[in-house]
Chains A and B, each alone.
Chain A
Amino acid sequence: MSLQRTDVEKIAHLARIALSEEDIPVYTRTLSDIFALVEQMNSIDTTGITPMAHPLDATARLRADEVSETNQRDSFQSIAPQVEAGLYLVPKVIE
């Protein structure tokens, strides 16, 4: 399978990754190579096979709905790029 430049631009946008002009042809080539490899999956008919999501087919463990953690906001925000008054700051979203 061969991807086009526009495909890569679209994927990069969905992934929220800025690519430089010179990177786009490189990703177009390497992603095409990888999806060509992935095509081999079609050599086997998998009709009726249950998809396997977990190695031991385990299901999520449930626990009682009890408070188990303490508030660590200050500690977590101490490593944030920009905070003010307990809030994370980002560029203005609403004009």
Chain B
Amino acid sequence: MHEKTLAELSELLHQRKISSVELTQHFLQRIERYDGQLNSFVTVTPELALEQARAADARLQAGTAGKLTGIPLAQKDIFCTAGVKTTCGSKMLDNFIAPYNATVVEKCNAAGMVMLGKTNMDEFAMGSSNETSYYGAVKNPWDVKAVPGGSSGGSAAAVAARLAPIATGTDTGGSIRQPAALCNLTGLKPTYGLVSRYGMIAFASSLDQGGPMAHSAEDVALLMETITGFDKRDSTSLDRPVENYSSQLNQSIEGLRIGVPKEYFGEGLDPEVAKVLETSLKEFEQAGATVHEVHLPNNQLAIPVYYIIAPAECSSNLSRFDGVRFGYRCENPKDLIDLYKRSRGEGFGAEVKRRIMIGTYALSAGYYDAYYLKAQQLRRVLTQDFTDAFKQVDVLFGPTSPTVAFNIGEKVDDPVTMYLSDIYTIAVNLAGIPALSLPAGFAHNRPVGMQLIGNYFSEGRLLNIAHQYQQRTDWHSRTPASFA
């Protein structure tokens, strides 16, 4: 049952061949049996899940069910859930029960989906390995010595090990795409503003975007149709009609112009990963696409620009954690400043403190123009590079990550090395365009992801291209042997 696609599960549910309660119990049992090895969930919600499953079965019985009614999912623990702990992977929020649901959660509930629990993540989504979580590292189901990627590492590991058929993630600099790549999943970062950020705990507000993580593009399309849409509670939500992504999946990719940025295949890319990607490109050519070399001349600046803009926004957003209104408070504060300083010093982990301090410095008097303003100017330069590339081609193709999953502990003491592993994903967030990672094969016995980057609102096309590839290959449907 756990190897079926969302469309297959939906059909079984609608034909009443299985019930949502049975399906939910099946996944809850898998979590119980396997998650000890992976640590992919912070909170499992069996009672709530079964209650939602019973309600879903009633809707299926009454004929009022939608396509995803009764389908279980895991929510990244960054989305607020009323009545269920939302930790954001931090000691700061270890005791936090949100008074309301995030819009994404509301939409999943309204569709009749069943929440299995909340997944582990890098603390406040700051990390590329899921090692910064207060709740401990998550293991990669393809090799438990390896990281699952981050920050949506718990969601990636849970779906890859088939402890949940689909999960949500969030992507500020690659946090959906990189774990999807490292765990052999399909993950989409939508155009900025398509998925509401209401109730999604903010890291860097001008970059953060939620999206689905699943096995196939077809499954991602189904969840996208559920979680997108205008939300008046999010001031940056885009007022556009919800698209029917599923209906675009079967379009031909004959004549598709694929651009390969030369800068994505240079120094730093593992030659074994490059080899896998060359094979994928040939597959696209056989399907009728044409391949063209393009340039993103300033791509190497994406990391420095990001490590000013994201920390600057984070230092502002995380100032709300003050030990006064909610979250962690230190013991016996001697005065208000001591209350602030020790609550934050004890409540935040090392990487979060580091990023708050980078942002604080970059925004401090006398440094604003040299750092923040300069970064915002370069953000336009980087965005223009994409605009120029999309004049020549329909979509960009490249690696999602320069290497396969690295080992747990390998990069944790060297932030700059860790940051450099996001070289292919970060510029996409700065520009606000959509990008998708999908399974391309294996190198060093670990999964390799390919990244497809499109212009604003090209999600339908990206999912279509990925689906066409997945019709011709079976990388995406493989399951790690220990979790079969």
Contacts and interface: CB of A to CB of B under 8 A. Distances in A.
- Interface of A (DSSP majority class): loop
Contacts of A92: 335
Interface string A60-75: 1101000000001001
Contact of B431 (A13, A55, A75): A55
A1 B148 CA distance: 33
Contact of B336 (A75, A76, A91): A91
6 contacts: A35-B361, A41-B308, A44-B381, A46-B378, A76-B325, A81-B329
A15 interface: yes
B206 A37 contact: no
A56 B193 CA distance: 9
B301 A90 contact: no
Interface string B261-275: 000000000000000
Interface string B222-263: 000000000010011011000000000000000000000000
A34 B415 contact: yes
A50 to B, nearest CB: 6
B305 A11 contact: no
B315 interface: yes
A85 interface: no
Interface residues of B, number: 71
B235 A61 contact: yes
A41 B378 contact: yes
Interface in B300-322: 300-301, 303-305, 307-308, 315, 319, 322
A5 B101 CA distance: 43
Given A33-B415, A63-B232, A81-B329, A44 B301 contact: yes
B97 interface: yes
Contacts of B96: 79
A18 B232 CA distance: 38
B376 interface: yes
Contacts of A8: 357
